[in-house]
Amino acid sequence: MLLLLIFWIAPAHGPTNIMVYISICSLLGSFTVPSTKGIGLAAQDIFHNNPSSQRALCLCLVLLAVLGCSIIIQFRYINKALECFDSSVFGAIYYVVFTTLVLLASAILFREWSNVGLVDFLGMACGFTTVSVGIVLIQVFKEFNFNIGEMNKSNMKTD
């Protein structure tokens, strides 16, 4: 999917469609966060001198390479997006899509959601939804001037 987005869709539709660059950066983020987590897990085996420490060292090096490449490519496409689109709109949409894909990747790779009950899942989903909607509203209405004093004055004039 990333190769399709980077080599075919981004050159043609990237400057006109914000979701192209957001999709690229968010999909790369779904590699970045689990790679970092994997490096931490592999480092535990490396420093405990287990018989599997050689395999852990190889895994750690591969994950470092994936992490470095994904961060560099992410920076490139974030800069391209900020050249073409408003930063407040990009930031809000990117936060929501990035977080969603990272949670999905972590759930698939590390099976983090297997021990979560329904009530806890609903609480996390409501919290995530609240934060996401709040971020979007804050960024979208950042330029909107709202003053309670002016609202009271305009209500008094109409009475």
Please give the model's pTM, rounded to 2 decimal places. Answer: 0.73
Q: Where are the domains of the chain?
A: 1-85
Q: What is the pLDDT of residues 20-55, one digit of tens each?
A: 999 999 999 888 888 888 888 888 888 877 767 778
Other C-beta atoms lying within 10 Å of the C-beta of residue 70: 20
Is the pLDDT at 159 greater than 60? The verdict is no
